Structure 1
Amino acid sequence: MGSFLSLAGPKSRTSEHDEGSQHETCKRQRMSSSFNEENPRLIPSLPDEISILILARLPRICYFDLRLVSRNWKATITSPELFNLRKELGKTEEWLYILTKVEEDRLLWHALDPLSRRWQRLPSMPNVVYEEESRKVSSGLWMWNMVGPSIKIADVIRGWLGRKDTLDQMPFCGCAIGAVDGCLYVLGGFSSASTMRCVWRFDPILNAWSEVTPMSTGRAYCKTGILNDKLYVVGGVSRGRGGLTPLQSAEVFDPCTDTWSQIPSMPFSRAQVLPTAFLADMLKPIATGMTSYMGRLCVPQSLYSWPFFVDVGGEIYDPETNSWVEMPIGMGDGWPARQAGTKLSVVVDGELYAFDPSSSLDSGNIKVYDQKEDAWKVVIGKVPICDFTDSESPYLLAGFHGKLHIITKDANHDIAVLQADLRDNLGFPPSTSPSCSAASSHEHSDLLAETETVVWKVIATRDFGTAELVSCQVLDI
């Protein structure tokens, strides 16, 4: 801060560091002086560069109210420069963003500040009409009103066998979610039985949605991952004449240039060695997950033939060589799967975690991947999850503040964010943890469960009514 303050004097030093600081401070001065000609100062009796330094140190949860003070303050609070300064000062904050599906056939986003434990509802995603130019359909395609409470991924799989009726009636949008460069992205999905290319971005600084360059291919249920501050999109399905067709193609989005680029398609190498042409025609390969791990994209895969799915390992994309290699056998074959074979995972502090639901559908355990032994090991023997209903996503995984988190519904059917404080990431699995009834307390700081290797804590809860969990992302801003 001293270097910033010293710039106020006429005889500041001109070292390389000070010149850079002087340049940034001059930018802040120009920005702040142009906000309101009648009252050029944000805080009376203080230079604006000092006021901006003060605002940058405030918790981000305060900005929702501060932007209402005046036009000057709103312009400052919504300025990217203020958030760049927060990065310089080490004042960025990790927030959890949760996507829910409500009965009114809508997708709703909610943000949680883990420090204040306060929730914020994001602006609704826009209802945008897309006209099919090739078919010249005047009625258009509605993207965001495509969510229904009863359709499951299993119903989508039926379309791969040529059942067009199921697809034509599908109300769930099947969009993918990603986060890069401090923004949320919603990609593709279904609309009127067609797969879409469109991409929407939510900027938390402006608190607004905007449309960006669309993908080169229409996709639904595709997988996303982040590498080197770029958003990768892999696989999914597209609409074909015979129903849904799994995609092997992949592409990458650069938020700095707002452009998409193609990368090599997934080979699906293990799906190519099926013993008969009949099986090759019946079993459809598809990417069932994707995680950025050790600087590469890990994509587990499965073969589907309704109502069965078979794990077939996976493949790993290396951006340095721009090529795919087969996933280690233990990693691919042992990757835990949830409903319909989809696989959720998260990397926390360099460790790859996945949730493995139990056969009784009332609990599960957490596994961690041991790269040296190429094996998944149970690190948490029992996870206190209470809601294993027909929800497409009865639980979600997230990593923030250096901890593993599970988002699910508690005993009161409120959405709860549970933090796992692992004492030994690769230790032996705990014996038994207390039942989930301990989670019914609404005191966020209450201890949920404690064992030899993990302490569960309720970070936050909220009553979202009958809303179902869809997805989640973490933004560090």
Structure 2
Amino acid sequence: MADVGAQSQLIPNLPDDIALQCLARIPRSHHPTLSLVSKSWRSTLTSSPTLYNTRSLIRTTETFLYLSLRINSTFHWYTLVSHKLLFPVCSMPVKPIGPAFAVLGSKIYVIGGSIGEIPSNNVWVFDCRFNCWEMGPRMRIGREFAAAGVVNGKIYVMGGCVVDNWAKSMNWAEVFDPATGLWTALPSPIEVRDKWMHATAVVGARVYAMTDRGVVVYDVEGCQWGTVSKRLDLGWRGRAVVVGGVLYCYDYLGKIIGYDVKEDVWKELRGVDKGLPKFFCGATMVNFDDRLCVVWEGKGSGKEVDIMCAEIQVQRDEDGGLSGNILWSDMILVVPNGASIVQCLAVDL
């Protein structure tokens, strides 16, 4: 019996809780090789939530980039393990058009989107730890091209529907609490209820969404809707991301700019012009471990498109300006011509 007990241990003659802390310190890129050591190691590395809880507690989590691409009318998901190592991951069981995206912990939420040209209230959840999809709690109404943001561990979603009946009017905005697994209505004034949302960003406890008619903002802590300055409204173009309290996007000249909410001013990101192209369209930005990560569609050959990626360290200068240092920039994938970037997200695992 002693031999059997010894074999069941993760590391012989070492308590499993101590062994688990040892495994939790090993980079995730080595997990496929480590899973070959024994059945107990494979089970722990591929299906144990405790391992990832331990990684979080001892602060050994790593940030991974997840990328969704549309290729030949189908959607493909990838994860970037290192600068040039892009692995395909399990694709969604369905293919919604225009969903919203949010990251909670180790899970990616794909919210709504239209299926057969009908807005859906479905929520699909991808568990990045174990590379699997599951159906999440449905929203109260269907949405496509909605805005979604995460504040204090809850998902706030707004818009993406035509307010043509009582249910859509009362549920134009909703909030999801993972602790209860429920979506609840978020009261909203009629003047903010626009249909389409083109981009969203979270600054502090405020969810900003760019709509057809301007920018909508909801203050979670104050439980109130508000207006934004004219400078933010006129300067925000395309998808944006917040790094260090600054909202970054690209302007009409294709340059990366940053908006300081406190100062109410746009500033050009200096120091990156020589290493990056002009971003007139097709660029997606994400906060990658407090660094600015940009993914865009490069030129490629006539039949192919290069998916490019750059990681930029951004900072405030002594003169109040913004500057960036390109840590690396390279092609990470080659796809057929006509492919496009749907979304990129950063997940800590």
Deviations 1:237-257 (A, max 9, x none): 35979xxx9998111112232
- The CA deviation at 1:185 is 0.9
Partner amino acid, structure 2, of 1:454: G
Q: For the Cα contact (< 8 Å) 2:79–2:86, is it kept in 1?
A: yes
- From 30, 49, 56, the equivalent of 2:17 is 49
- The CA deviation at 1:37 is 6.7
Rounded Cα–Cα distance in structure 2 between residues aligned with 1:463 and 1:348: 25
- The CA deviation at 1:293 is 0.3
Partner amino acid, structure 1, of 2:11: I
Deviations 1:46-94 (A, max 9, x none): 3322321211000011223333444312321121111111112110111
- The CA deviation at 1:260 is 0.7
Q: For the Cα contact (< 8 Å) 2:245–2:260, is it kept in 1?
A: no
Give SS of 2:342's match: strand
Partner amino acid, structure 1, of 2:130: L
| Residues 331 and 352 of structure 1: CA distance in aligned 2, closer, same or farther (over 3 Å) | same
TM-score, normalised to structure 2, is 0.85
Rounded Cα–Cα distance in structure 2 between residues aligned with 1:46 and 1:38: 9
- From 50, 58, 69, the equivalent of 1:100 is 69
Aligned to 2:277: 385
Aligned to 1:356: 251
Give SS of 2:134's match: strand
- The CA deviation at 1:100 is 0.4
Rounded Cα–Cα distance in structure 1 between residues aligned with 2:255 and 2:64: 25
Q: For the Cα contact (< 8 Å) 1:264–1:323, is it kept in 2?
A: no
1:456 counterpart = 2:344: no
What is the aligned-residue identity percentage?
29
- The CA deviation at 1:119 is 2.1
TM-score, normalised to structure 1, is 0.64
Rounded Cα–Cα distance in structure 1 between residues aligned with 2:62 and 2:219: 30
Give SS of 1:384's match: coil
- The CA deviation at 1:180 is 1.0
Mapping of 1:21-32 within 5 angstroms? none
Aligned to 1:472: 344
| Residues 334 and 254 of structure 1: CA distance in aligned 2, closer, same or farther (over 3 Å) | same
Partner amino acid, structure 2, of 1:350: G
Q: For the Cα contact (< 8 Å) 2:255–2:279, is it kept in 1?
A: no
Rounded Cα–Cα distance in structure 1 between residues aligned with 2:157 and 2:319: 34
Mapping of 1:202-241 within 5 angstroms? 202-238=126-162
Rounded Cα–Cα distance in structure 2 between residues aligned with 1:211 and 1:47: 36
Rounded Cα–Cα distance in structure 2 between residues aligned with 1:285 and 1:192: 19
Partner amino acid, structure 1, of 2:324: V
Aligned to 1:188: 112
Aligned to 2:211: 301
| Residues 375 and 267 of structure 1: CA distance in aligned 2, closer, same or farther (over 3 Å) | farther
- The CA deviation at 1:95 is 0.7
Aligned to 1:306: none
Aligned positions, number: 335
1:323 counterpart = 2:224: yes
Larger strand percent: 2
Partner amino acid, structure 2, of 1:418: A
1:405 counterpart = 2:293: yes
Give SS of 1:290's match: strand
- The CA deviation at 1:295 is 1.5
Q: Larger C-alpha radius of gyration, 1 or 2?
A: 1
| Residues 246 and 462 of structure 1: CA distance in aligned 2, closer, same or farther (over 3 Å) | farther
**Which structure would you say has the larger RCO, counting Cα contacts within 8 Å and 6 or more residues apart?**
2
Give SS of 2:180's match: coil
Rounded Cα–Cα distance in structure 2 between residues aligned with 1:426 and 1:302: 37
| Residues 256 and 66 of structure 1: CA distance in aligned 2, closer, same or farther (over 3 Å) | farther
Deviations 1:113-134 (A, max 9, x none): 34x75322111211xxxxxxxx
Aligned to 1:137: none
| Residues 285 and 44 of structure 1: CA distance in aligned 2, closer, same or farther (over 3 Å) | closer
Rounded Cα–Cα distance in structure 1 between residues aligned with 2:318 and 2:204: 18
Give SS of 1:124's match: coil
Q: For the Cα contact (< 8 Å) 2:86–2:333, is it kept in 1?
A: no
Mapping of 1:6-405 within 5 angstroms? 39-77=7-45, 78-103=47-72, 105-114=73-82, 117-126=84-93, 143-144=94-95, 173-238=97-162, 249-265=172-188, 267-268=190-191, 286-303=196-213, 312=214, 314-335=215-236, 337=237, 343-358=238-253, 364-380=254-270, 382=273, 384-385=276-277, 394-405=282-293
Rounded Cα–Cα distance in structure 2 between residues aligned with 1:197 and 1:459: 38
Rounded Cα–Cα distance in structure 1 between residues aligned with 2:324 and 2:202: 25
Deviations 1:264-290 (A, max 9, x none): 225435x9xxxxxxxxxxxx7643322
- The CA deviation at 1:219 is 0.4
Rounded Cα–Cα distance in structure 2 between residues aligned with 1:465 and 1:62: 27
| Residues 69 and 258 of structure 1: CA distance in aligned 2, closer, same or farther (over 3 Å) | farther
Q: Unmatched 5+ residue regions in structure 2?
A: none
- The CA deviation at 1:344 is 1.3
Rounded Cα–Cα distance in structure 1 between residues aligned with 2:176 and 2:226: 22
Rounded Cα–Cα distance in structure 1 between residues aligned with 2:171 and 2:231: 23
Aligned to 1:26: none
| Residues 259 and 423 of structure 1: CA distance in aligned 2, closer, same or farther (over 3 Å) | closer
- The CA deviation at 1:300 is 2.8
Deviations 1:309-344 (A, max 9, x none): xxx3x2321122322111233222332x2xxxxx31
Q: For the Cα contact (< 8 Å) 1:397–1:404, is it kept in 2?
A: yes
Partner amino acid, structure 2, of 1:255: P
